[in-house]
Amino acid sequence: MHHDWQDQIHQYCEQMSSPESPFLQAINDFTWKKMINPRMLSGHLQGQLLSSLVSLKQPHCILEIGTFTGYATACLLQNLPKSSEIHSIEADPEIAHKTHTFWSQNNPNHPVQWHIGEALSIIPNLKIHPDFIFVDADKSNYTAYLDLCLPILANGGVILFDNTLWSKRVINETDLQNDKDTQNMHAFNQYLISHDTLQITLMPIRDGLTLVQKLN
């Protein structure tokens, strides 16, 4: 019953939020038809939040770690100033090829700079100083991504980490004791709040979305 109630609330929130654009709908359809793990897709509500945050923040440079099919990428683009740049990294070459082909066919004039490979190796060579970072990649490297990105993040900049509630397992004592992935995510969340130069907000949106702001 509790799960049904949560689903109803989620559906109501989606209905009472701005609708997806035709391109976002196309990415959604493409993902469910062509990808093995379509549930990795960023959801409608989360996408709307990303788009709104970009509108409020007006970042000069966005870095996305974990492209997948580019749903979140498209949301980040919606309100991005034309003078700004956006970089998106995908580790899986097969996924990257499918995604880049889809984008070239459906949104050929986009400004996204695609990168294929391991983010931990690519980021130091980009020579960028992003003020907005979205991370939805391999969870075991979240701490490494934070440590790598904080020095290049502009003061006042934000990082968002996805899936930080880990299917609610972070509050399940059995999973905390026996599941390594759950232990890693809980340890990452604890590591985040140990930083006194960061403002942290973990939001119960979808599978957990943590907003990190680097204080001046």
Q: Note the maximum CA span of the chain.
A: 50
How far is residue 17's CA from residue 39's CA, in Å, rounded to a whole number?
21
Q: Which residues make Cβ contacts (< 8 Å) with residue 57, sequence separation at least 6?
A: 131, 132, 158
Whole-structure pTM value: 0.95
Structure tokens at 195: 């930083």
Report the candidate in 19, 35, 60, 24 with the shortest Cα–Cα distance to residue 158.
60
**CB-hemisphere CA count at 13 Å for 102?**
24
Query: What are the distances in angstroms from CA 25 to CA 170, 189, 190?
Result: 31, 32, 36
pLDDT computed for residue 181 by the predictor: 96
Q: Residue 139 carries which DSSP code?
A: G
What is the full per-residue pLDDT of the chain (216 aa) written as tens digits? 556 788 899 899 999 999 999 999 999 999 999 999 998 998 899 999 999 999 999 999 999 999 999 999 999 999 999 999 999 999 999 999 999 999 999 999 999 999 999 999 999 999 999 999 999 999 999 999 999 999 999 999 999 999 999 999 999 999 999 999 999 999 999 999 999 999 999 999 989 999 999 997
CB 53 within 8 A of CB 66: no
Report the candidate in 67, 10, 66 with the shortest Cα–Cα distance to residue 43.
10
Structure tokens at 37: 């793990």
Give me the residues paired with residue 115 across strands.
89
Counting the structural domains of the chain, the total is: 1
> Domain range spanning residue 198?
2-214
Centre a 10 Å sphere on the Cβ of residue 105 and count the other Cβ atoms it contains.
10
Q: What is the CATH number of the domain that holds 193?
A: 3.40.50.150
Helix H or strand E encompassing 146 = helix 142-149
